[in-house]
A and B are shown apart, each in its own frame.
Chain A
Amino acid sequence: MDSQILLLLGQDGVTNGAIYALLALALVLVFSATRIIFIPQGEFVAYGALTLAGLQAGQVPGTLWLLLALGAGVAVLDGVRLVGDRRFTALPRLVLLRVGLPLLLAALLRAAPAAQWPQALQVLLTMAIVVPLGPLLYRLAYQPLAGASVLVLLIVSVALHLALVGLGLLFFGAEGSRTPPFTEASLTVAGAPLQGQAILVVVASALLMAALYLFFERSIHGKALRATTMNRTGARLMGIRPASSGQLSLTLAAAIGAASGVLIAPLTTIYYDTGFMIGLKGFVGAIVGGLGSYPVAALGAVLVGLLEAYSSFHASAYKEVIVFTLIIPVLLWRSLTSRTVEEEEE
């Protein structure tokens, strides 16, 4: 392998690693705030990429119908409670927000397909469709079980993953999609071509991480979420509602997932089930960080990207196996350094 290939693979590895790092951060964030191991993280990547591709093809993406269906579900659940509390005045707003808005969007897309819109607007619309799916799923699937054990929440996550992949197949079909790059620019570094899109991915990931940092350090919502991750009971006693922490963290996770999907859609063909593998690689990174440390998780994820790139060159058939066996030494080390018996909650 000459240096040019080495560089090319390294570029691939770092680009993918940056995406994995973003996902790893989202997974750590969701786990520490809610104890949910968010397996469906990867589905948001696929949904983001494929929704964008659908919009660009002039279709009304199926994710919009999902948004409508979940919104209607939440409207019913919350509506029943509002009626029970005799707060009838809040009903119109609830219905408009949960059902009216998606319907309006669908009508708009029917009337004026988004294919001809500027790319930035298409991306914004994609985010507007996919990101709310996060908190809606939290409200419907996780919130009623918020007090359950990590194990039950994990089973819910896996069930959601199963359902979302099936829906992905229904919405987008078995064909993969690739979107046009945001930039055609490319440079040559040390004889190897460097794609502008790859640089964009890395820069955007870094910016997103910086934005997350600022959010946690500066904003009151970010601080509340950070308090929840440190001590759930304590935060609750301070008036931070667990439900709002849950919805906020899943909003962030969905946003990170959708943004990752939009970023890598021009670099690789995304199928309805691609997201899962991408998400799991973020997971391997997160596990390297023990599902607790942000910087270690991010570094671990970049390592996963590099390992994957180089193993795809040497043993491409086994690259998935190699990546997933990376967690074995990590888990082994963690296992050998832990000594106390953990009490599993009921």
Chain B
Amino acid sequence: MRRRLPLAAFVVLLGLGPLVLPEYHVTLLNYAGLSAIVALGLVLLTGVGGLTSFGQAAFVGLGAYTTAWLTTRHGVSPWLTLPIGLLLTAAVALAIGLITLRMGGHYLPLATIAWGISFYFLFGNAEQLGGHTGISNIPALSLLGWELRSGRALYYLVWLVVLLAVAGLGNLLDSREGRALRALRGGAVMAESCGVDTPRAKAIAFLLAALLASTSGWLYAHLQRFVNPSPFSLNQGIEYLFMAVVGGAGHAWGAVLGAGLVTLLKAWLQDLLPRLLGQSGSFETIVFGVAMVVILQLARGGLWPLLLAPGPERARRRGLAPAGLLPRRPASVPGTVLLEASGVTKRFGGLLANDGMSLTVRAGEVLALIGPNGAGKSTLFDCLSAVSPPTSGTIRFRGEPTAAMAARQLARRGMGRTFQHVRLLGRMSVLENVAIGAHARGRRGVVAAALRLDRAEERLLLAEAAHQLERVGLSAHLFDDAGSLSLGQQRLVEIARALASDPWLLLLDEPAAGLRHQEKQALAALLRRLRAEGMGILLVEHDVEFVMELADRVVVMDFGAAIAEGRPDVVQRDPRVLEAYLGGAVGA
């Protein structure tokens, strides 16, 4: 309850604002609210998704111009122009996203710069849209016969939208789709291997940010009752990003703080600087530019985290409500071929990392892949799990060729994997990390999450994650930050995450590294149990004792090729294996 107190105080103050403040300050607060809506979108895009856009002002403009044109020229009701503007914005955002989001992260912001400039020139030159003069006489909004003519009247609508956006964003981030969005920053490869469609997640973040901007534009047009292209220029787009960066791009309230600060600062500087410098012009850009660099250097998380006492932001240690079980895949019949690789070759430039590797994994068996460091085991793992496709050779998973598949498609078909270099989201709880593994087993989307209609499914997903964590012996750490665990425990979290996807085949890359003896014993027992349930397991491991006790068959790799294959006790005596491990003793 104590956590709610500042929020309640803020809302009360907001509500009292227009009753006591002079007109000028109400206007400023309106603009701060409108900007906060845009900046909230950037929190999702930049702070959460690790992408950014300099073209948000153009989306604001799209929303504003849509309603301006339709209401003044065609007499359409403003309540209809809002969804029309949102649809139009969605179309543009999806087109830009489609073109840029599959590439490196910097192509989106570059494309949004081009979009921002094009929008400005396009609308400034379009006769039907009033050119640079713009469109005036936009009707006021009316609600149940009550006209929102004044800034004071519209104030409540603006800030209601802000508060709803903050709440919706918070709900979204605490959900299945939200976890996928939070994985975009620094966890894209991992998320893909859990069945998350990362280009789609990026598109969702960009789309939502654009829609928020468009909504802000619609409000702007009916507040100002006049639009022209200049408030939608690239500079304004940069300013929105500045608000998010100043306030704290990782936090919804950071956006509100940043929007408020920057709006006030801008009004003050626009008054002060020209007088100080003795010429007119928008010199506040100098201050903003320098301030943005300084903040990025000294407080990259923005000001909001500095205001909050350090500590967990969310009441993380929530009770796990009792929930039923997620539906499972039917177990495979022991002995059926799950994975079949033949002639897999992988080249990196002149380096031949895998040279014609072939192997088969069946349901209900543990196949161990061993070999000296640099033999190409992890490369083969990446080929098999479609993280990086082989140069040549064929791989079939349950009879289906995987050549054209992305890692997420394989994951959704029942292949789970862990990584040699642990890929967890360190600042997310262990439970949530594992819940990403179950991503493909849920289907509630963004809207359901924002409106909290996803809770039944969310309980199932979290219960599944908790169950898998119990299996690997980490029940005591559900709510710890994943980054706070020891390396060995982090490996176990990765196994739990892979298991949460209910896989037919499990690919484990050095699962026992960093584990203590007892933990290894427990892991071996777990893997035996999984094998008995019919799961196929492909294991890369350096701990020979662990491998020999557990594996049904062993494949030994050296210099990218298989040099021996067979039962553990046979392989162990193979002279080629001894040579690979103990050095070139044969000639000596």
Q: Which residues of A contact B109 (CB under 8 A)?
A: 151, 154
Asked whether any CB of chain B lies closer than 8 Å to the CB of A213, the reply is: no
Q: Which residues of A contact B122 (CB under 8 A)?
A: 318, 321
Asked whether any CB of chain B lies closer than 8 Å to the CB of A287, the reply is: yes
Interface residue ranges of B95-113 to A (CB < 8 Å): 98-107, 109-111, 113
Interface residue ranges of A148-171 to B (CB < 8 Å): 148-152, 154-156, 158-167, 169-170
The reply to whether B186 and A160 form a contact with Cβ atoms under 8 Å apart is no
A150–B51 alpha-carbon span in the complex (Å): 10
Q: Which of B185, B241, B279, B388 contacts A158 (CB 8 A)?
A: B241
Q: Which residues of B contact A158 (CB under 8 A)?
A: 54, 238, 241
The reply to whether A280 and B286 form a contact with Cβ atoms under 8 Å apart is no
A145–B51 alpha-carbon span in the complex (Å): 18
The reply to whether B300 and A343 form a contact with Cβ atoms under 8 Å apart is no
- Which of A18-26, A121-129, A201-209, A324-332 is near enough to bind chain B? A324-332
The reply to whether B293 and A156 form a contact with Cβ atoms under 8 Å apart is yes
Asked whether any CB of chain A lies closer than 8 Å to the CB of B121, the reply is: yes
B34 → A minimal CB distance (Å): 20
The reply to whether B106 and A37 form a contact with Cβ atoms under 8 Å apart is yes
| Known contacts A151-B51, A151-B105, A343-B188; A167/B100 CB under 8 A | no
B94 → A minimal CB distance (Å): 13
A227–B136 alpha-carbon span in the complex (Å): 58
Interface residue ranges of A272-296 to B (CB < 8 Å): 277, 280, 283-284, 287
In the complex, what residue of chain A is closest to B111 when comparing beta carbons? A331
A345–B54 alpha-carbon span in the complex (Å): 20
Asked whether any CB of chain A lies closer than 8 Å to the CB of B558, the reply is: no
Q: Which residues of A contact B388 (CB under 8 A)?
A: 340
How many A-B contacts at CB < 8 Å in the complex?
Answer: 155
| Known contacts A335-B99, A342-B105, A346-B185; A155/B296 CB under 8 A | yes
A344–B185 alpha-carbon span in the complex (Å): 6
> Using an 8 Å CB-CB cutoff, how does the interface string of A303-332 with B read, 1 for contact, 0 for none?
000000000000001101100110110011
The reply to whether A331 and B117 form a contact with Cβ atoms under 8 Å apart is no
The reply to whether B106 and A151 form a contact with Cβ atoms under 8 Å apart is yes
The reply to whether A156 and B285 form a contact with Cβ atoms under 8 Å apart is no
Asked whether any CB of chain B lies closer than 8 Å to the CB of A120, the reply is: no
A320 → B minimal CB distance (Å): 5
Asked whether any CB of chain A lies closer than 8 Å to the CB of B114, the reply is: yes
A247–B307 alpha-carbon span in the complex (Å): 36
Q: Which residues of A contact B391 (CB under 8 A)?
A: none
Q: Which of B46, B99, B105, B242 contacts A150 (CB 8 A)?
A: B105
A69 → B minimal CB distance (Å): 11
Asked whether any CB of chain A lies closer than 8 Å to the CB of B71, the reply is: no
> Using an 8 Å CB-CB cutoff, how does the interface string of B277-294 with A read, 1 for contact, 0 for none?
101011111101110110
Q: Which residues of A contact B113 (CB under 8 A)?
A: 39, 280
Q: Which of B242, B300, B387 contacts A159 (CB 8 A)?
A: B242
B54 → A minimal CB distance (Å): 6
The reply to whether A152 and B286 form a contact with Cβ atoms under 8 Å apart is no
| Known contacts A324-B117, A331-B111, A343-B186; A155/B281 CB under 8 A | no
In the complex, what residue of chain B is closest to A284 when comparing beta carbons? B114
The reply to whether B186 and A159 form a contact with Cβ atoms under 8 Å apart is no
The reply to whether A341 and B238 form a contact with Cβ atoms under 8 Å apart is no
The reply to whether A332 and B99 form a contact with Cβ atoms under 8 Å apart is yes
Q: Which residues of B contact A317 (CB under 8 A)?
A: 121, 125
Asked whether any CB of chain B lies closer than 8 Å to the CB of A338, the reply is: yes
Q: Which residues of A contact B198 (CB under 8 A)?
A: 341
> Using an 8 Å CB-CB cutoff, how does the interface string of B285-327 with A read, 1 for contact, 0 for none?
1101110110011001000000000000000000000000000
Asked whether any CB of chain A lies closer than 8 Å to the CB of B224, the reply is: no
Q: Which of A151, A161, A277, A338 contacts B102 (CB 8 A)?
A: A338
In the complex, what residue of chain A is closest to B280 when comparing beta carbons? A174
Asked whether any CB of chain B lies closer than 8 Å to the CB of A141, the reply is: yes
A154–B286 alpha-carbon span in the complex (Å): 17
Q: Which residues of B contact A340 (CB under 8 A)?
A: 388
B259 → A minimal CB distance (Å): 17
Asked whether any CB of chain A lies closer than 8 Å to the CB of B407, the reply is: yes
| Known contacts A151-B52, A158-B54, A341-B192; A335/B103 CB under 8 A | yes
Interface residue ranges of B180-221 to A (CB < 8 Å): 184-186, 188-189, 192, 198
17 A-B residue pairs with CB within 8 Å? A39-B113, A150-B105, A154-B106, A155-B241, A159-B288, A159-B292, A159-B296, A160-B289, A163-B289, A165-B285, A166-B289, A324-B115, A324-B117, A328-B99, A335-B102, A339-B389, A341-B387
A151-B106, A335-B107, A343-B186 given. 20 additional CB < 8 A pairs?
A39-B113, A149-B50, A154-B52, A158-B54, A159-B292, A159-B296, A162-B238, A162-B288, A166-B282, A166-B284, A166-B285, A280-B117, A334-B103, A335-B98, A335-B102, A336-B102, A339-B389, A341-B198, A345-B186, A346-B186
Which B residues are within 8 Å of any A CB, using their own CB? 46, 50-52, 54, 98-107, 109-111, 113-115, 117-118, 121-122, 125, 184-186, 188-189, 192, 198, 235, 238, 241-242, 245, 277, 279, 281-286, 288-290, 292-293, 296-297, 300, 387-389, 406-407
Q: Across the A-B interface, give the 9 residue pairs with the lowest CB-CB distance, nearest first.
A: A163-B289, A159-B292, A166-B286, A162-B289, A166-B285, A324-B114, A317-B125, A346-B186, A159-B289
